[in-house]
Amino acid sequence: MPERHTLIRSLHDIGMAAWFGGSLMGAVGLNGAAEDEGGTQTATDRIASAGWAKWTPVNAAAIGAHLFGSGGLLAVNAHRVVTQRGVASSTAAKTVVTGAALAATACARVLGKKIELASSPDPQDAEEAREHPVDLDKAHRQLACAQWAVPALTGCLVVLNALHGEQQRPAEQASGVWERARSVSPFM
């Protein structure tokens, strides 16, 4: 009877769902509401920054859960990665896309923090912003790209996860193992 890995699958999937859904909601809902309600660019920046700052710890937990679950799934499915045709390449693709999503998330946070400091009424933040000046127009453009890259990349992870699910079907496993064996042995 196959082992169950419900906890690590749940951490993987819930983390990915929150990372994808939160980034998409932020790019569409939070940024859109900030633009509608802000009135000025500074006010818009403050509203959006406040919302993203509230989301950051939840997003970090979601990403952590996803990464922990991903590592656990890789460990329990290592035999499939090695023996089943197509699993190694989809796993490699998923790893690359995860890295890109992490980089886009980090980039968005750094840019968002720069804009947050530049728009803050707090004298300490204003002083820090003066010490590290930022071209706000450029930062806004880069942030918009990064904030849309995150749901695009995490959406790709959802699709790759669906592919992994299809590869776990018994018929897929049997034919994948057979094809892999044929590809490494010229006599089959």
Q: What string of DSSP letters covers 62-99?
A: HHHHHHHHHHHHHHHTHHHHHHSTTHHHHHHHHHHHHH
pLDDT tens by residue, the chain, 188 residues: 367 899 999 999 999 999 999 999 999 999 999 999 989 999 999 999 999 999 999 999 999 999 999 999 999 999 888 888 888 999 999 999 999 999 999 999 999 999 998 888 887 877 777 787 889 999 999 999 999 999 999 999 999 999 988 887 666 555 555 565 666 666 65
Helix, strand, coil shares of the chain as percentages rounded to 5? 85, 0, 15
